[in-house]
């Protein structure tokens, strides 16, 4: 191998910088790939809020883990709604933000039901710690949430 050949990262730097600029642009986008990457970032932020709320309410306030998970899921879901509408998706199915929030809430309720079912089964049947179960639940539900929001809302 010749020492003159630049590595792949250096050769692709202009394309990577364009991609990074598009991902971090403040405007919503119509490009599916960028929407998906932004949605990952938004979902991670929402997950941190969700998980932190869950742990604080369960460990510090001593709420039952399923009640704490419900409150955490709602906190994360509302953050997800706000950032999805403002930054991720350019196209909107509804002119009314109230109608959009209603549909989002219905999708979120199904996600919450799946989340609680997975948590309950993992903790009560498999003996898993609720925090580990929450990580698995989040990974399993992400694809469903993204696809339903993309199809029904954006």
φ and ψ of 29, to 5 deg: -130, 160
* More confident site: 27 or 138: 138
Please state which of the ranges 36-40, 88-92, 94-98, 116-120 shows the lowest mean pLDDT.
88-92
- Please tell me the distance from the alpha carbon of residue 31 to that of residue 146, in angstroms, as a whole number: 14
Q: What's the CA gap between 112 and 116, in Å, rounded? A: 6
Give domain limits for the chain. Answer: 28-152
Considering the chain, what is the average pLDDT of its residues?
A: 84
| 70, 112 contact by CB (below 8 A) | yes
Q: Which two tokens stand for residue 128?
A: 């898993």
DSSP letter for 7, please: P
What is the predicted pLDDT for the residue at 14? Answer: 58
Tokens representing residue 131 in the block = 């925090």
Which H or E run includes 44?
helix 32-55
Q: Is the pLDDT of residue 4 over 70?
A: no
Q: Which pLDDT score is estimated for 6?
A: 52
| The pLDDT of residue 49 is above 70 | yes
| Position 94 pLDDT exceeds 90 | no
11-45 pLDDT tens trace: 555 555 666 677 767 676 677 787 888 888 888 99
Tokens 């971090």 appear where? 24
Cβ neighbors of 151 (< 8 A, separation 6 or more) are none
Q: Measure the CA–CA gap between 41 and 153, rounded to whole angstroms.
A: 19
The whole-angstrom separation of Cα 75 and Cα 96 is 22
pTM of the model: 0.76
């Amino acid at each position: 191998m010749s020492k003159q050949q630049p590595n792949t990262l250096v050769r692709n730097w202009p394309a990577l910088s364009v991609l990074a600029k598009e991902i971090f642009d403040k405007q919503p986008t119509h490009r599916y790939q960028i929407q998906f990457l932004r949605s990952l970032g938004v979902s991670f932020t929402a997950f941190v809020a969700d998980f932190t709320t869950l742990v604080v309410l369960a460990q510090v306030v001593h709420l039952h883990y399923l009640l704490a998970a419900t409150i955490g899921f709602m906190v994360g879901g509302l953050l997800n709604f706000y950032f999805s509408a403002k930054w991720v998706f350019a196209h909107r199915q509804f002119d009314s933000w109230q109608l959009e929030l209603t549909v989002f809430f219905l999708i979120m309720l199904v996600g919450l039901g799946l989340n609680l079912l997975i948590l309950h089964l993992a903790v009560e049947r498999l003996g898993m710690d609720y925090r580990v179960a929450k990580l698995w639940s989040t990974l399993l539900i992400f694809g469903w949430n993204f696809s339903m929001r993309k199809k029904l809302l954006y």
